[in-house]
Chains A and B, each alone.
Chain A
Amino acid sequence: MADAILVVAADGRILRVNAAAVQLFGYSREEFADLSVEDLLPRRHRPNHAAQRARFTARPDSRAMGSGLELFAIRKDGVEFNVDISLSRLENGDVLATVYDITRRKRAEESLAAAREFSDSIIATMQESLLVLDADYRVVRANPAFFQTFRVGEEETVGRAFVEMHGGCWDFPEMRRLLVETLPSDHAVDAFEFRHEFPGIGSRYLRLNACRIVGSAEHRKLYLIALEDITARKTLESEQARMIRELERANEELKNFAYVVSHDLKAPLRAIGSLADWIGADQKERLDDEGQEHLRLLIQRVRRMDGLIDGILQYSRVGRVHETAVTVDLNQLVPEVIDSLAPPSHIRIEVAERLPVLRTERTRMLQLFQNLLSNAIRFMDKPEGLIRVDCAELDGSWRFSVKDNGPGIDPRHFERIFQLFQTLNPRDRVESTGVGLSIVKKIAEGLGGRVGVDSTPGQGSAFWFQLPKGSPDYKAASANPNDRRPGRDCRDPEARDGADSSHPCVLDAGNPCRHDGLAETSF
C-alpha cells in the first residue's frame, strides 16, 4: 500500500490528500476538505498539537521517521492506530505530511518481546547449564544454572573468550577439537561425556550437547552449548558396576566352592569306605556281630555321604553347565525315564497320550521327570500305586504334573521340601539325599518357570512344574557370557554359547499338547 500523504495549511486545514490517505483514515476527499489536521489525532493529543504545528511552521526542521515518539492517529470510525510521520515544509508554507501505519510493526515488536521473555524464563529455569557463544567463541549469554553449577559470576563469563575465561579451565584438547572442528562445520555435538577438573568445584563428569542456533545468520553464527552435570549418575553407575562385578565373583567362588569341596571330600570318604570294607573282610573272625553291624552302618553312612556330595555336585551343575538345545520329544523321553527307574510291579504309571515336543536341554528334562517320578515311586505307601504324568497349556506355559496316590504332604512342608537337603523322613527309613526337588526347582526356575505341589495328606500329591513356551528370561540369562566361564567347566563340550541354548521350550508345530486321553505305558 502506498503511503498516505496529506498537504496541510499552516492553520491546520487539510488541503489535499492522496488515495492512500482516504483509505487509511476512512474519510472521503470531500470530508477531508472540512477537517483540520487535529481531527486526525486522538482527542487527548489535540490540545497540544496546534502549538506543535506553529513551532514547526516557525522552525521547519524536517522530521525524520522513527524519531522515538509514540504517535497515534484516529480513523473516522474512531479506531486509534500507531503511526510514524514525516513532515516537510513546502515552499508556499504548506506542510507535506507522510503518514505511515505502523500497527503491524508495533505488534511484531510486542510479540518479539513476549517471545524473548518466554525463552528467557525457560533458560533461567533450566537445570542444565547453557552458554551461547558467538562465532569467535565469546560468551554471549549464560543462564543462572551455569553460574550456580560452576560457581562463577556473570562478569567473569559474559563477553569473555570461552577458552580463556575462569582461568582457562575450559581449555583442554577435547573442548578445542569441539570448538575448532565440530561446531564450525555445523555439526551438532550429541551427548559428549567427559570428566574434567574445575578449580571451583573439583572433578566433574559432564555431558555436553552443542549446536548452531537455528536462524542465527550466516555472518553472525551463534552456538548453544548445554552442559549437564552427570557426576552423581556416573558415580552411581560405577558403584553399580563394581557391585555387579563383586556379585559375579562371589557367585563364581560359590560355584567353584561346591566343586572343590565335593571333590576334596570324596577322597577321604573313599579311604574310610575302603578301610572299613577291609577291616570287615580281614578281621572277620575277630569281630563279633556288634562289630560287624557297626562296620555295616559305617559303610552305609559313607555311601550316604557320597550321595550327598553327588547331590551338591549335581545341584551346582544346574545353571553352571549348559547343553545345546535339541528337540526333545517328551513322548519318548518320559517312557525312557520310567523304564530306567524300573518301578515295582504294584505301581502303575500312566502318561498323557500326547506330550509336547520341546526345544530345550535334554539332560534338564530328564532330571525333571526323573526326580519327580523317582520320588513318587520311592515314597509310595499304597498296595496299588498309581502315578500319572500329565501336561496342560496354561498362560503361555506348559504345566507338567506328576500325580501320585502316595502318602501326601502336609501343606506346612510345601516350602521346605524344595530346599536343598530337606527331607521329611528319617534317612534310615527312606534313603534320600534331599537334593532331587531342589534340583527340580533350580532347573524350572532356570528355564524361567516355577514349581509347586498340591497335596492331601493320606491321599497323594501332585508335583508340577511350569515352563514358559519361549522364555526371554532364560535367553537373557544364557546370553550372558559369564555363564560360560565357570571355574572348571569352561571347556565342557556340553557347554555351548547362549545362542544355542537360548530356546528353552519351543513347541514343534503340529504337535499340540493334548491330554484328552491317557495311555498306559508298558513295563
Chain B
Amino acid sequence: MKVDCKTILLVEDDQVDAMTVKRALKELRVTNPLDHVENGEQALAHLREPGRAKPCIILLDLNMPIMTGIEFLQVAKADPALKRIPVIVLTTSEEQRDVVESFDLGVAGYMRKPVDYREFVDTVRSIDAYWTLSELPV
C-alpha cells in the first residue's frame, strides 16, 4: 500500500476468512499493520476511537452479524470524518443488488472471495497493486 505506516482495517466475522486475508497480505509482503474487527458496529467504534489514526483502507465483508457491511457503509459514508477512507468490499455475494448498493454507497471496489486460496492471493495482489499507485487523501 502507498502509505506503509498506515493501518488496514479488516471488517470480517469469519475467522478463516480473516486468516486468509492476513496470510495473503503477509505472502505479498504488505507491511501495513492490520486491525481486525468482526462487524460493522465494532468497525465504527474502532474508527471513532479518539486519538486513533484513520486507516488507509477498509476491507469490508458484507454478510456479518449485528451490523452488516451495507449498514456500516450507510453510516460511514454519511460521516464527514469517515467518508473519504476507501472501502473495498470483499464478499461471497455476487448478487447485483449488493454490487449496486455498495457502489451507490461509494465503495472503491468490489471483490469476490474466491474459494481457491491461490486465486484469493491474486485478488489481494490486485488490491495492493492498485492502492500502491493510487493517490490517497491525506
- A positions within 8 Å CB-CB of B: 259, 263, 266-267, 269-271, 273-275, 277-278, 299, 302-303, 306, 313, 321, 488-494
Q: Which residue of A lies closest to B114 (CB)?
A: A270
Decide if the interface of chain B is mainly helix, strand, loop or mixed. helix
Query: Given A263-B63, A269-B115, A274 and B94 touching (CB < 8 A)?
Result: no
- Asked whether B93 is an interface residue with its Cβ less than 8 Å from the other chain, the reply is yes
Residue B19, interface by CB 8 Å: yes
User: B130 at the A/B interface (Cβ < 8 Å)?
Assistant: no
B residues near A266, Cβ cutoff 8 Å: 92, 115
Query: Which residues of chain B from 5 to 34 have any CB-CB distance to chain A below 8 Å in the complex?
Result: 14, 16-17, 19-20, 23
**Complex alpha-carbon distance, A299 and B101, angstroms:** 33
Q: CB-CB contacts of B30-69 with A at 8 A, as 1s and 0s?
A: 0000000000000000000000000000000001000000
With A489-B96, A492-B97 already in contact, 11 other A-B pairs whose C-beta atoms are closer than 8 Å: A263-B92, A263-B93, A269-B115, A270-B17, A271-B16, A303-B116, A489-B97, A490-B97, A491-B97, A492-B95, A494-B96
How far, in whole Å, are A516 and B84 apart by their CA atoms in the complex? 61
Task: List 24 interface pairs A-B (beta carbons < 8 Å), by A numbering.
Answer: A266-B92, A267-B17, A269-B115, A270-B114, A270-B115, A271-B16, A273-B115, A273-B116, A274-B120, A277-B116, A299-B116, A302-B115, A302-B116, A313-B94, A488-B97, A488-B98, A489-B95, A489-B96, A489-B97, A490-B97, A491-B97, A491-B101, A492-B97, A492-B100
**Which of chain A's residues have a CB closer than 8 A to the CB of B92?**
263, 266-267, 270
Query: Are the CB atoms of B94 and A278 closer together than 8 Å?
Result: no
A306–B93 CA distance with the chains assembled, in angstroms: 13
Q: Which residues of B99-138 have CB atoms within 8 Å of chain A's CB atoms?
A: 100-101, 113-118, 120
Q: Which residues of A contact B96 (CB under 8 A)?
A: 321, 489, 492-494
Contact of B117 with A277 in the complex, beta carbons under 8 Å: yes
Among B14, B101, B114, B117, find the residue whose CB has the most chain A CB atoms closer than 10 A. B117
On chain B, which size bracket covers the interface? 20 to 34
Contact with A493, one of B19, B93, B100 (Cβ below 8 angstroms): B100
Contact A274 B63 (CB under 8 A): no
What residues on A are CB-neighbors of B101 within 8 Å?
491
Write the chain A residue with the least CB distance to B115: A306
B18 CB, nearest partner CB in chain A, Å? 10
Most buried by B among A267, A306, A489, A494: A267
